[in-house]
Amino acid sequence: MTDEEWEKVEKSLSSTFGYAEFMIDGYTVDVIVQPIGALKFKLAVYVNKRIAVYTCANDCDIRRRFYYPSKRSHLNAADKQKLKRASKARRESITQMYSYTAYLPYWGSFSRMKAHFIRNNQSIRLIKCN
């Protein structure tokens, strides 16, 4: 895609009812602005016209290519505070052991989504946007 097309998509997705449709490596990808809360919006990514829960939970090609990787931890604030007294190696080991990556079909930032799509896919073609 050209820079002008990306600017057109960004402008479309910055409005309340924004929509863009792509053909990315054989997948039909729809990006839609959806309300998440009161006056809060995110970009929802639909691959082949749906968000499949199994793609979020199981390791697959769609999850790695299109969904937002969110790093999370099982440790709460009190546990992290206790770890500050431990040695650096032990702290990093425990933090690594109790952390995981969740893949979400929602993006909060257009620029991060664009960079992720470019980095993880070969051919991106804009079909339409409003």
Structure pTM? Answer: 0.83
The domains of the chain are located at 1-56+105-130, 68-104
Over the chain, what is the mean pLDDT? Answer: 91
**What tokens appear for 105 in the block?**
């079909």
pLDDT tier at 3 (50, 70, 90 boundaries)?
A: very high
Non-local CB neighbours of 59 within 8 Å, separated by 6+ positions: none
pLDDT digits (tens, 9 = 90+) for 22-61: 999 999 999 999 988 888 899 999 999 988 777 767 788 8
